[in-house]
């Protein structure tokens, strides 16, 4: 086990480029099973979850090779088994996305219950409701999901929630189903759009990309292709928060500013501002972080919602920013009932936060944070703690950083290039 040792209280400066979108990379790896031709994925993040997913594909007999840094070639010419490695499947949540592609290619799939972040209950019902609608038979056991289908047939699907992975599952199953599929109440996040555009490049017939209603005309086969992933907008939001709380001037290159209109609104309630310069976002130094009350002095709220609303993965970052802003704000995490449980670690650093219930926290700032021994509970909370440590006085030691490595590519090296005093060390 390794740790991050962070000396806080220093200004950062320079340019940082976000890695490829983690939440696009993982479903795209599953989508590679839909073709027996080679697929080359560029701007693939070199993170732990991607490496596990690659191993999972290899356990199925699929050829995977890194052609160069962040460029991966996947060739699913044959699939040797319909039962992905159980131990690997239990390490990442998106192992469940192999269900649809395996059904299409082999007519069968047996998947262990997936792993992932411990941020509360994360239902999978939407996946199986969609697959059942397309003609799959699903048997749920205590430890696994067993599916079979003698060909899938297009249909009209109204998802019971705007589940990102549930939408991706339905899309991948539908592109090779016979007939037409309509998916209504679909998620439309940038990574869902990346999946659709890659499948389109492979020969899938998909319309409505970027909306909540998708129309898919099934085709008989998909081709190989080359596809470049977009930037990870969670990294972009994290770097905006980092610059704000450390008073730093940071340019985020190739950030797709158009994806951060709601981030600008929510972070703006804490006084955070930035400029869009072409594809870049530039955060100026020494911002005055001050909570902007709603009309008549009402305490404002930062809450998450389906895209294009504020993404839940940035709620942890928003909470850390709020600890450094003058005023009071309500953080309302609607989507996950365990996301805010890292607040106790911020309290140990000196933050003034009242955790009302699993979904709501009142933050009163600014608070002087001090270095502390911390443990990363999940990917996004882990990055939030890194940001808190970088603006704190003194030295912090963060353990369980394997959680952070799951979503952020060599983060300590990239932050050190901006002047951050952060080191990776073996655990004591």
Residues of the binding site for UDP-N-acetyl-alpha-D-glucosamine: 93, 313, 335
Written as six digits, the tokens of 374 are: 């911390």
Binding residues for phosphoenolpyruvate: 22-23
Altogether, the residues listed in the chain come to a count of 428
Cα 163 to Cα 165: distance, rounded to the nearest angstrom: 6
Residue matched to tokens 């549930």? 166
Q: Helix 233-246 and helix 261-268: axis angle, to 10°?
A: 30
Cα 223 to Cα 390: distance, rounded to the nearest angstrom: 46
Q: Given 49, 85, 117, 378, which residue is catalytic?
A: 117
Q: Own/partner pairs for 131-138, CB < 8 Å, 24+ apart?
A: 131/99, 131/100, 131/103, 131/169, 131/170, 131/173, 133/157, 134/170, 134/173, 134/174, 134/177, 134/181, 135/177, 136/103, 136/173
Check if the beta carbon of residue 64 is closer than 8 Å to that of residue 72: yes
Residue by residue, DSSP assigns 266-283 as HHHTTT---EEETTEEEE
CA dihedral 47, 48, 52, 54 (to 10 degrees): 20
Check if the beta carbon of residue 225 is closer than 8 Å to that of residue 39: yes
Burial of 220 (0-12, 13-18, 19+ CB in 10 A): exposed
Q: What are 365's strand-pairing partners?
A: 327
Check if 49 is active-site: no
Cα 137 to Cα 53: distance, rounded to the nearest angstrom: 25
Cis before 308 (ω within 30):
yes
CB atoms inside a 10 Å sphere around CB 209: 17
Binding residues: 22-23, 93, 313, 335
Q: Give the residue numbers marked as catalytic.
A: 117
């Amino acid at each position: 086990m390794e740790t991050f040792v962070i000396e806080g209280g220093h200004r950062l400066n320079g340019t940082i480029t976000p890695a490829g979108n983690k939440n696009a990379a993982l479903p795209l790896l599953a989508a590679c099973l839909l073709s027996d031709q080679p697929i080359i994925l560029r701007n693939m993040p070199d993170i732990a979850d991607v490496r596990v997913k690659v191993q999972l594909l290899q356990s199925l007999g699929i050829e995977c090779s890194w052609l160069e840094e962040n460029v991966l070639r996947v060739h699913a010419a044959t699939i040797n088994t319909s039962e992905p490695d159980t131990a690997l499947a239990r390490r990442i949540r998106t192992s469940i996305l192999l269900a649809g592609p395996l059904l299409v290619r082999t007519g069968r799939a047996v998947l262990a219950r997936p792993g992932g972040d411990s941020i509360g209950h994360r239902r999978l019902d939407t996946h199986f409701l969609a697959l059942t609608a397309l003609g799959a038979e699903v048997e749920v056991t205590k430890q696994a999901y067993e599916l079979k289908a003698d060909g899938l047939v297009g249909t009209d699907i109204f998802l019971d929630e705007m589940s990102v992975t549930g939408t991706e599952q339905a899309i991948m199953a539908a592109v090779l189903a016979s007939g037409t599929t309509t998916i209504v109440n679909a998620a439309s996040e940038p990574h869902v759009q990346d999946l659709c555009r890659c499948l389109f490049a492979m020969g899938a017939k998909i319309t409505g990309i970027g909306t909540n209603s998708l129309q898919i005309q099934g085709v008989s086969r998909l081709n190989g292709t080359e596809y470049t992933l977009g930037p990870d907008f969670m990294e972009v939001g994290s770097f905006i928060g980092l610059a704000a709380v450390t008073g730093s001037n940071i340019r985020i290159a190739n950030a797709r500013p158009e994806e951060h209109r709601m981030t600008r609104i929510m972070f703006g309630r804490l006084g955070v501002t930035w400029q869009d310069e072409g594809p870049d976002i530039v955060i100026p130094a020494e911002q005055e972080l001050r909570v902007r009350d709603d009309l008549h002095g009402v305490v404002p709220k930062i809450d998450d919602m389906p895209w294009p609303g504020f993404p839940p993965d940035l709620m942890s970052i928003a909470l850390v920013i709020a600890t450094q802003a003058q005023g009071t704000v309500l953080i309302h995490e609607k989507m996950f009932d365990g996301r805010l449980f890292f607040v106790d670690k911020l309290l140990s650093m000196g933050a003034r936060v009242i955790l009302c219930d699993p979904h709501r926290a009142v933050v009163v700032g600014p608070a002087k944070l001090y270095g502390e021994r911390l443990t990363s509970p999940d990917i996004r909370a882990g990055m939030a703690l890194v940001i808190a440590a970088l603006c704190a006085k003194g030295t912090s030691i963060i353990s369980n950083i394997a959680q952070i490595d799951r979503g952020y590519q060599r983060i300590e090296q990239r932050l050190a290039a901006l002047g951050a005093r952060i080191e990776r060390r073996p655990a004591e």
